[in-house]
C-alpha cells in the first residue's frame, strides 16, 4: 500500500538522512520526496510518499530520532473527510460536488451545512446530506455552537467554507484549528463589504482573482494556500467581472481542497508551505 509521511520540525543537520535511512530499515520504498527549509524561521518540512507496511515502531523510532518539536504524521490512502459550509451562492459548492462526482478530488463530502435552505436541492442532487441551521434569533456564538456540534458529529478532517457568508467566532475557529479553508475574491482589503465586483468596476481594476486560505481569528488574513488572477478590460461590466470572478473562486477553492487532501500543505506561522 501507499502512504504519505509528513514531517515538520526545527531544522538541523541530517534530518533527510535520518528519515530516509529509517524508511530503508523498515523496508519502506520512497517513491517521491519533497522537502523545504525555511531558513529565516529555521523550520524543516518534508512530504514523503512510501510503499510498504509502516508500523507503530517505525513512527515511534522516527519521532525519537527527530527534534523534540517534530510533528510526524502517516496518512493512509483513504479519502479525506470534508464538511462544507455554505450560504446561498452555488458556484463553489457546486464545483466541489461535481469534482467529487468525477472522482477528481481525494475527498469524501460528508455533509453540507448552510444557514439558508436555498442550496438543499443542489446537495441532494449529488446524494450529499444537507442541514439548514438558521442564524435567525441566535447570537453568533450560539449559531456557531450549533453548527460546530453538527460538524463534530461527522468528525471531518477538513471544513470548507464554500462562500459561507458568516464571520466565525474565535471559539469556532479554535474548535477546528488548522482545519478550516476559506475562499474569497482577492480584492480584499481594497473593496470590503457588499458588491465587491461593482466597487472594483467603479475603480476600473484590470486584474481580478481569488484567494483560498486557512482560517484564523484575523478576518480573511489566515495563511494563504492558493491564489489565481485573470485580466479584465474596460469592456467587462460589473456583472461580467462577477461571473469571471466566480469561476476563479471555484477553481481556486477546489485546488486548495485538492492540495489539503493530498497532504501537500503545511502551516508555517502566518504562511504556508505548499508542495506541488
Q: Catalogue the active-site residues.
A: 220
> Cα(70)–Cα(27) distance, rounded to whole angstroms?
22
Collect all residues with Cβ–Cβ distance below 8 Å to 190 and sequence separation of at least 6: 200, 203
DSSP 225-275: EEEEEEE--TT--HHHHHHHHHHHHHHHHHHHHHHHHTT-EEEETTEEEE-
SS3 assignment, position 156: coil
Collect all residues with Cβ–Cβ distance below 8 Å to 104 and sequence separation of at least 6: none
Whether residue 189 is preceded by a cis peptide bond, meaning omega within 30 degrees of 0, is yes
> Cα(276)–Cα(262) distance, rounded to whole angstroms?
10
Show the cell assigned to 92.
463553489
> Cα(259)–Cα(275) distance, rounded to whole angstroms?
8
Q: Cα 128 to the chain's mean position, in Å?
A: 19
Amino acid at each position: 500500500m501507499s502512504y504519505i509521511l509528513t514531517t515538520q520540525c526545527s531544522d538541523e543537520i541530517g534530518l533527510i538522512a535520518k528519515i530516509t535511512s529509517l524508511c530503508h530499515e523498515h523496508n519502506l520504498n520512497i517513491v517521491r520526496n519533497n522537502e523545504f527549509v525555511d531558513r529565516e524561521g529555521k523550520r524543516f518540512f518534508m512530504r514523503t510518499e512510501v510503499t510498504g507496511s509502516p508500523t507503530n515502531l517505525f513512527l515511534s523510532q522516527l519521532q525519537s530520532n527527530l527534534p523534540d518539536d517534530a510533528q510526524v504524521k502517516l496518512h493512509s490512502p483513504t479519502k479525506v473527510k470534508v464538511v462544507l459550509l455554505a450560504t446561498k451562492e452555488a458556484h463553489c459548492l457546486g464545483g466541489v460536488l461535481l469534482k467529487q462526482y468525477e472522482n477528481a478530488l481525494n475527498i469524501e463530502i460528508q455533509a453540507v451545512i448552510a444557514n439558508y435552505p436555498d442550496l438543499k436541492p443542489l446537495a441532494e442532487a449529488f446524494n450529499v446530506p444537507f442541514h439548514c441551521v438558521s442564524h435567525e434569533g441566535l447570537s453568533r456564538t450560539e449559531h456557531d455552537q450549533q453548527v460546530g456540534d453538527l460538524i463534530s458529529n461527522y468528525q471531518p478532517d477538513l471544513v470548507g467554507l464554500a462562500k459561507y457568508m458568516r464571520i466565525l467566532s474565535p471559539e469556532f475557529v479554535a474548535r477546528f484549528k488548522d482545519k478550516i479553508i476559506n475562499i474569497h475574491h482577492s480584492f480584499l482589503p481594497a473593496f470590503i463589504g457588499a458588491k465587491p465586483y461593482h466597487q472594483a468596476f467603479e475603480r476600473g481594476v484590470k486584474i481580478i482573482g481569488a484567494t483560498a486560505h486557512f482560517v484564523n481569528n484575523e478576518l480573511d488574513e489566515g495563511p494563504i494556500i492558493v491564489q489565481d488572477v485573470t485580466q479584465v478590460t474596460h469592456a467587462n461590466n460589473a456583472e461580467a467581472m462577477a461571473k469571471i470572478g466566480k469561476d476563479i473562486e471555484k477553481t481556486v477553492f477546489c485546488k486548495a481542497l485538492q492540495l489539503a487532501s493530498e497532504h501537500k500543505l503545511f502551516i508555517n506561522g502566518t504562511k504556508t508551505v505548499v508542495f506541488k
